[in-house]
Amino acid sequence: MAFDDQRYEQLDYRRCGTSGLFLPPISLGMWHNFGTRADHDTCREMMRTAFDSGVTHFDLANNYGPEPGSAEERVGRILREDFAGYRDELIISTKAGYRMWPGPYGEWGSKKYLAASLDQSLKRMGLEYVDIFYSHRPDPGTPLEETLGALDLIVKQGKALYAGVSNYRGAFFVQAAETVKRHDWTPITIHQPCYNMMHRWIEAGLLEYTAQYGAGVIVFSPLAQGLLTNKYLDPSNPIPRASRAADPDGFLKKEAVTEDVVSRVRKLANLAQSRGQTVAQLAIAWVLRDPRVTSALIGARTPEQVKDCLGALDNLAFTRDELAIIDALFPAY
Ligand code: NDP
């Protein structure tokens, strides 16, 4: 089945830092909902729906599943089934940092682990290279030079085109950016931190540094894993069966759905309604209000959720009053 010829007219692609890489304002990640237990046709439809609307970027990590590795296997299968001939139109990323196999070489940031893990990821996805390869988390036990040297090696080997870091705090990111500069290594093109109304640390702790070193920023969990949607607002069904909070493998725990959070999101829902948006659309538009944010990296359970999220792009402008309401509900820190 072909894709919409007009798909690239539908989005305003954003430059990733000072690089030549442009990313869609919304990208789709496979942390949840693409593992062993997922419905294959639903996964296909989510990726097809996204790509059909101009979403060129799919984000993975070695450990996404469950089982770890299974999301990469599934995406590899979908790339073969539905995206044969489209590889050059896609930005596929993966990461290594969390535990993948037993022993001292199965996690963190050593050269041994990063190189072996990417080789495994490429095999699982059936790809010759990924577009972005990330150090998934800082490793206090490995010299930063070794981790970044491994990213440089991987890019020079042609196994990845761009290097990225994820979950590096501001000062550590600066150290990393300075290190690659000093060695004239592959630059850090992109940073992947968490950012949403409930987790605002990057506003004062990262964005000025990524801008200073020319890195783009793709923010994960813009919906706070579903908390910043209408999902948990129905008092007669506070934790719906088909929700991340109800899933024993889900990273969002039921305990996070507190009365306090729900009451604040209810107020947010009034604001969303006045803007003609769903809560999810408002939450995505809000993270994209800062031009230093290159892309909002969403997760989804259904193609309908993907479509709903893409609707955020119809209204990205905020008035001062609207921003003040959000600041009052979810203060910056
Ligand atoms: P989100 O904050 O976007 O949460 C996704 C969840 O929100 C969905 O599973 C769904 O929940 C709900 N949702 C999505 N769209 C809608 C909608 N339109 N209406 C109502 N509910 C909706 O992001 P994730 O936490 O999933 O993270 C996104 C991606 O970011 C990951 O897939 C991964 O690629 C990346 N990531 C990276 C990390 C890192 O350390 N680098 C860490 C975490 C994520 P439900 O399932 O309940 O329906």
pLDDT at 1: 75
| Pair 215, 191: CB distance under 8 Å | yes
pLDDT at 309: 98
Q: Which atom of ligand 1 is nearest to the CA of 299?
A: 26
DSSP per-residue string spanning 262-313: HHHHHHHHHHHHHTT--HHHHHHHHHTTSTT--EEEE--SSHHHHHHHHGGG
Give the mutation target among 28, 30, 32 for probing the ligand 1 site: most ligand atoms within 8 A of CB.
32
Give the mutation target among 131, 225, 293 for probing the ligand 1 site: most ligand atoms within 8 A of CB.
225
Phi–psi pair at 26, nearest 5 degrees: -125, 130
Integer angstrom CA distances of residue 37 from 45, 77, 103, 104, 218:
16, 15, 27, 29, 27
Mean pLDDT over residues 163-176, rounded?
A: 98
pLDDT at 180: 98
- Taking CA atoms only, the protein residue closest to ligand 1 atom 17 is 305
Instruction: List the domains of the chain with CATH numbers.
Output: 7-223+280-320 (3.20.20.100)
- Taking CA atoms only, the protein residue closest to ligand 1 atom 18 is 305
Ligand 1: list residues with CB < 6 Å: 29-33, 59, 136, 166-167, 192, 220-226, 229, 231, 243-244, 280, 297-301, 305, 308-309
Integer angstrom CA distances of residue 217 from 28, 183, 289:
15, 23, 13
pLDDT digits (tens, 9 = 90+) for 170-215: 999 999 999 999 999 999 999 999 999 999 999 999 999 999 999 9
CA of 182 to the centre of ligand 1 (A): 36
Give the mutation target among 95, 198, 223 for probing the ligand 1 site: most ligand atoms within 8 A of CB.
223
| Pair 164, 131: CB distance under 8 Å | no
pLDDT at 203: 97
Residue 219, SS3? strand
pLDDT confidence bin for 158, thresholds 50/70/90: very high
Give the mutation target among 47, 190, 197, 221 for probing the ligand 1 site: most ligand atoms within 8 A of CB.
221
Statement: residue 331 has pLDDT above 80: yes
pLDDT at 129: 98
Residue 143, SS3? coil
Strand bridging mode 14-15 / 22-23: antiparallel
pLDDT confidence bin for 333, thresholds 50/70/90: confident
Query: What is the residue-averaged pLDDT of the chain?
Result: 97
DSSP per-residue string spanning 223-240: TGGGTTSSTT--TTSSS-
Q: Which atom of ligand 1 is nearest to the CA of 60?
A: 34
Query: Measuring CA to CA, which residue among 67, 53, 63 is closest to residue 24?
Result: 53
CA of 255 to the centre of ligand 1 (A): 18
| Pair 111, 153: CB distance under 8 Å | yes
Residue 35, SS3? coil
pLDDT digits (tens, 9 = 90+) for 271-284: 999 999 999 999 99
Measured between alpha carbons, how far is 18 from 47 in angstroms, rounded to an integer? Answer: 28
- Taking CA atoms only, the protein residue closest to ligand 1 atom 30 is 220
Measured between alpha carbons, how far is 273 from 235 in angstroms, rounded to an integer? Answer: 19
pLDDT digits (tens, 9 = 90+) for 122-145: 999 999 999 999 999 999 999 999
| Pair 291, 251: CB distance under 8 Å | no
pTM > 0.85: yes or no:
yes
pLDDT digits (tens, 9 = 90+) for 105-124: 999 999 999 999 999 999 99
Measured between alpha carbons, how far is 63 from 69 in angstroms, rounded to an integer? Answer: 5
Tokens linked to 281:
């659309």
